[in-house]
Structures are given as structure tokens and as C-alpha cells.
Structure 1
Amino acid sequence: MSEITAEQVAHLANLARIDLSPEEITRLTAELGQIVDSVAKVAEVATPEVPATSHPMPLTNVFRADVVVPSLSVEEALSGSTDLDGDKFRVPAILDEE
């Protein structure tokens, strides 16, 4: 286990203006020691020969290819509307503005 001491935890808590009880300092000393040990284990295997990864399994793009296709004309898009304003849909006002 790493050499994180209760005095170091109390000092850091003081610097951060965090009021910790003696029980919290004891618990955090053990937890921070475990964190430091875990990071040290990862650092042991994280060598230049090991490629960095963001995910344990390879990810692939699940989207279809972007293909240009003909779209609706203005007349086709507006053909189902019952209320038009030139080449636009007319909708009820939702604000008291023009």
C-alpha cells in the first residue's frame, strides 16, 4: 500500500478548506492509498509498446454511407398542407409577435 499518511490527508483537507472528522481522515487515508496503488499498477503496464485505448473492444461506425439522393420539390413537400403562404407552411402563431 502507498505511503499516504493521515497527516497528509489532514493537510490537504485544510488547504481545500474541508473540515474532516478524524474518522473521515482515517477512511480517506486508506481510500487514497488504494487509488495511488491502483494508478501505480496501471503505470507498470502502460509502456510505449502498449497502444492507448479508449475502449476495450474496437468500435466501428454504425451509420450508413452518406449518399446524395434526390429530395422533394417545394410543390411535393407542400402538397399535403391545407394552409400555405406562398411557398411556406402557414402555422398558428405561438407568440404575441408578428
Structure 2
Amino acid sequence: MVKEHIDIEHIAMLARLKLTDEEKRLFSKQLGSILEYIGKLNELDTTAIEPTSHVLPVKNVFREDELRQSLHKDKALQNAPDKTDDFYRVPKIIG
């Protein structure tokens, strides 16, 4: 397997992690080992193996919808830390 450059700083930025230089070296080495191990899977002969999407059989386990009384809005909002009219008010999370 060709050794590729692993940009730990970019991965840390995507995960919103602040890493020390020592952690960057450690994680770079660990991730490299993991990718090398995964690369060994490419060496397996899978020509006689039927492609599958799930290991176990999948079946529909949905139930029929049942109409029932829902929680009253006053009861739902009684413990809300902040509310406006009949709605929960939450902090803005998207820039």
C-alpha cells in the first residue's frame, strides 16, 4: 500500500479538536497504522463471495400508526427554560 500523507490538522479542524503537537504525531501514526491494516483488505480474494448489503436478513418492522391523545402544549412547555408564545426558544446554532 502506498503511504499517503495524512493531514491530521485538517481532520482535527473538521472534528473541532484542538491537538497538541505530541497528539498530532501520535494520532498520525495511529491513523497510518489503521489505514495500512484496512489496505490489507484489498489483498483478499473475494471473487467467490456474493456481494451483500447486510450481514443479517433485513425485514420491515414498522407498525401501523395509532391515533392517540398527545401531550398538551402547556404541559410540554411547563419546564422549558425559555419559550416564546407556544414554542421552545433555543440558542442560535447556525452562523
TM-score range, shorter chain: 0.3 to 0.5
Higher alpha-carbon Rg: 1
TM-score by length of 2: 0.45
TM-score by length of 1: 0.44
